Amino acid sequence: MFKRVVIVEIYGLIREGLKLLCEQHADCEVVGQSAGIEETQALLDRSPTDIVLIDQGVVDNEGLEQIERLRESHPTVQIILFVARHDAQRMRAYLEAGVQGVLACQGSPGDLRFAIDSISRGEQFISPYAAKYLVNGFVRREADKKGENNGRRVTFTPRQRDVLRGLAQGKANKEIADELSISVKTVETHRARLMKTLRLNNANQLLQYAIRRRFDVAH
């Protein structure tokens, strides 16, 4: 059975290519095309649609809340996002916003058919190329939770947190010392103790730790 598809892509030439791909490889009927999600809302109001195929660039330009609104106003419509940038955190956000399929631009034409078949059965579809980045992102996130302290629970004194915050904000030892009304030598002592506690080898690793753990904001 043919699925009715609306294509959402900024560039007309790419829309035509996707239309051809849908009709030749995925047994779909393209019932509409648009360059933005607001225009898509109007299309869906006029034309019965099963699937919306959206370019990642449209979502990034207009915001994830537009996907959420699309899902709220047309809950039976399934959404497939085709992506060129495979940031794991961003892809998780897409899925949480209501995207049912993530299709990598680096995949094969057959991936589109697999995606449509999967979400038509009520399943999510993540192309193997994109799934690799999601898995790697999960592994990195778990490693970050353990941190450079090999999974040990580390607690910091208020002054150590102040020093880490200053480092994450790009401040030199003298600036941190002046801000905290302590000596530069005391700042250096705190840094040395932090590196020992966290089992870090040098000042650059300590800086990266402070940035990665977001000590530049309230912590």
CATH 3.40.50.2300 fits 3-140, yes or no: yes
pLDDT for the residue 219: 53
Q: What is the pLDDT of residue 142?
A: 52
Predicted local distance difference test score (pLDDT) of residue 87: 75
Residue 152: predicted pLDDT: 59
DSSP states along 175-198: HHHHHHT--HHHHHHHHHHHHHHH
CATH fold group of domain 154-212: Arc Repressor Mutant, subunit A (1.10.10)
Structure tokens belonging to residue 199:
């089992």
Mean pLDDT by 10 residues, the chain (219 residues): 91 93 84 94 94 93 89 93 82 86 86 88 83 63 52 78 90 91 92 90 85 74
pLDDT for res 164: 93
Enumerate the domain spans of the chain. 3-140, 154-212
pLDDT value for 40: 96
What pLDDT score does 191 carry? 93
Q: What is the dihedral of CA 191, 194, 198, 203, to 10 degrees?
A: 0
The pLDDT of residue 153 is: 67
pTM of the predicted model as reported, rounded to 2 decimal places: 0.63
